[in-house]
Structure 1
Amino acid sequence: MKLNFEHVQAAHCENGVTRNLLKHAGVNFITEPLAFGIGSGLFYIHLPFMKVNGGPAISFRTQPGLIFKRTAKSLDIKIIRKKFSSEEEAQKALDECLQQGQPAGCQVGVYYLTYFPKEYRFHFNAHNLVVFGKEDDNYIISDPIMEYTTTLNSYELNRVRFAKGFLAPKGQLYYPEKAKEITVEQIQRAIKKGIKLNLRDMLHIPGSFAGVSGIAYTGRKIKKWRDKLGIQKAGSYLAQIVRMQEEIGTGGGGFRFLYGAFLQEANQYFHKDELLDISKQFTQAGDQWRNAAVQASGIYKGRITSQADFDVMGDYLIKISEMEKKAFQELSKVKLDA
């Protein structure tokens, strides 16, 4: 049994799952950048009193599941989301979805995904994929960060659906109901709502840990890590940032490129040249995030380890904070009307 489901590769797992599931439900205009922007996916937070895998607790994205939830809600599409207490119950529910012709999104852990290269497997429980068929004991998988579809047997799929630890997925599955006709006015409202939420998250969260303020906060911290932690541990902290930025989705540069693409697509609905100008600013910020990742990799690989090198790394993030603050402030002034 294999459902008629279109697998399209994406830059980020939840964006891709959102796009592919909504497209299957009849939302023909949806693209990955629109899903990301309507879902207000751009975010940054550095939690100073938490550690993840022994490194700083930093996130470049909203809470897992919110991109799908916000995008569907903004387009007035009802979603079904379920969690389970047992593997048997979760597998039965998934099988019932497939029997009813409904592909299902699943939140899974990365560490035991057998089709991932070993160097990309680590303890991260907020990866997303779609199950859209079953042949004997093998489930047919659309993982949007992979070029081609693949399979997992029931043991392998249950194992990643019930991965333990932080953000444990608990067998979670989700899917949208069939979409009704969506008007241009609805799309415009959804875009405006997505931008409004991102302005809030990046400019107006109190304190110094989140949004553009959080990026500068991390930059200032990095400048102190060499003396405070020692070169080896400071390097491992930077490796953690790069992993969160470039390997768990497209957190740093890639998300900025996506947001720039979202503003370009938003311009097609509002015809505001300011959106194109601001889009370029996010692309430039994305370039700086990629430059920062190169600098960080030089440090944690031991090629550059002086205090000046840590200062350069910190300054990259402080500059990025200023660039993104300016871009979002300009975005807040754009009057979005048709």
Structure 2
Amino acid sequence: MKLDFEHIQTAHCENGVSVSLLKHAGVQQMTEPLAFGIGSGLFYIILSVVKVNNAPLISFRTMPGKIFQRTCQSLGVPVVRKKFLSKEKAQQALDERLEQGLPAACQVGVYYLTYFPKEYRFHFNAHNLIVIGKEGDNYLISDPVMEGLHTLSSYELERVRFAKGPLAPRGQLYYPGTITNPVTDEQIKRAIVKGIKRNVRDMLNIPGFFAGVSGIQHTGKKIKTWKDKLGDDKARSYLAQLVRMQEEIGTGGGGFRFIYGAFLQQSHAYHPVDELLDLSQQFTKAGDRWRDAAIQAAGIYKGRLQSQADYDVMGDMLIEIAGLEKKAFTELKAVSKRL
């Protein structure tokens, strides 16, 4: 059984799930940048006390599930989300959904995701995919970051749905509820403003030093101390974690800034305020600098760059990025009041 479902390839998994499921449900205006921006997906956080792969937890996006939840709620679309203690009940709920001719998204771990290239498989439990059919013991998978469809056996799907560790998915599946009235352009307009204001808050106003632009600046300062404080091997592993979370998990730091720039550009069609176009370019510039920082970090990790001065350059790059994003979000805050 295969559903009549359009596979859409996107840069980031949860954006793609949001776009694909909402379009399937009738929200034809939805694009990846709009889903990301309305869902206030842009973020930064570093938690040194929480370790993932023996290095600090670093994230360039909001909590898993929030992009889909916020986008749907801002458009008046109900969200159905379920988690399970029983693997049998998790499979039963998915099968019942498919028997109704309806797709469902799952949060999964990537370590045992068999169609992923081996170099991308490590212990990360916040990947998202859509199950769109079942043929015998195999499930048909629309994974937004892949070019085409893939299959997983019932055991393979169960294994990734119940992966262990941080952000364990616990068999989670989710999808839009029934949409009683078509989503209008006016709803999109209001949702854009709500998404912008929430993202401004998250990047500028969270107290402390670990999140938003303050978190980026804090990380830059910390990087300058890692070589002496941690030793070469551990310092390099921390930088590898930064690059992995930036460049290999979805679209990470630079890519998310490019998507957010595209969101502001597309928002201009709904809110013709020209400052949005200038701000789009500012976020694109921040994305370019994140990519430059990733190259610097990779050079240190691979041993091409080894001096304290190289760590200082890396730290200064992040401090510069924090300044760029603080300026952009401060200006965006002022513009949002006129939308």
Question: How would you bin the TM-score normalised by the shorter chain?
Answer: over 0.9
Is 1:139–2:139 an aligned residue pair? yes
Output the CA distance in 2 between the equivalents of 1:246 and 1:192: 28
Listed one character per residue, the Cα deviations across residues 48-104 of structure 1 (whole Å, up to 9, x for unaligned) are 322211011111111100000000000000111111111110111100000101100
55-64 vs 154-163, greater mean Cα deviation: 55-64
**1:138–1:335: structure 2 CA closer, same or farther, 3 Å change rule?**
closer
Q: Secondary structure at the match of 1:291?
A: helix
Output the CA distance in 2 between the equivalents of 1:4 and 1:201: 38
Output the CA distance in 2 between the equivalents of 1:303 and 1:280: 32
| Structure 1 residue 155: Cα displacement | 0.4
Output the CA distance in 1 between the equivalents of 2:52 and 2:129: 23
| Structure 1 residue 335: Cα displacement | 4.6
Superposed CA RMSD in Å reads 0.9
- Runs of 4+ with deviation above 6 angstroms: none
Name the counterpart of 2:207: 206
The question of whether the paired residues in 1 share the 8 Å contact of 2:41 and 2:67 is answered with yes
The question of whether the paired residues in 2 share the 8 Å contact of 1:17 and 1:130 is answered with yes
Name the counterpart of 2:166: 166
The TM-score, its normalising length taken from structure 2, stands at 0.98
1:1-338 alignment runs, 5 A limit: 1-179=1-179, 180-335=181-336
| Structure 1 residue 277: Cα displacement | 0.1
The question of whether the paired residues in 2 share the 8 Å contact of 1:270 and 1:336 is answered with no
The question of whether the paired residues in 2 share the 8 Å contact of 1:270 and 1:337 is answered with no
| Structure 1 residue 251: Cα displacement | 1.4
Counterpart residue type for residue 255 of structure 1: F
Q: Secondary structure at the match of 2:239?
A: helix
Output the CA distance in 2 between the equivalents of 1:335 and 1:38: 13
| Structure 1 residue 331: Cα displacement | 0.4
Q: For structure 2, which runs of at least 5 residues remain unmatched after alignment?
A: none
Output the CA distance in 1 between the equivalents of 2:30 and 2:281: 22
Q: How many residues align?
A: 338
The TM-score, its normalising length taken from structure 1, stands at 0.99
Using the aligned pairs only, state the percent identity.
71
The question of whether the paired residues in 2 share the 8 Å contact of 1:213 and 1:321 is answered with yes
**1:269–1:337: structure 2 CA closer, same or farther, 3 Å change rule?**
farther
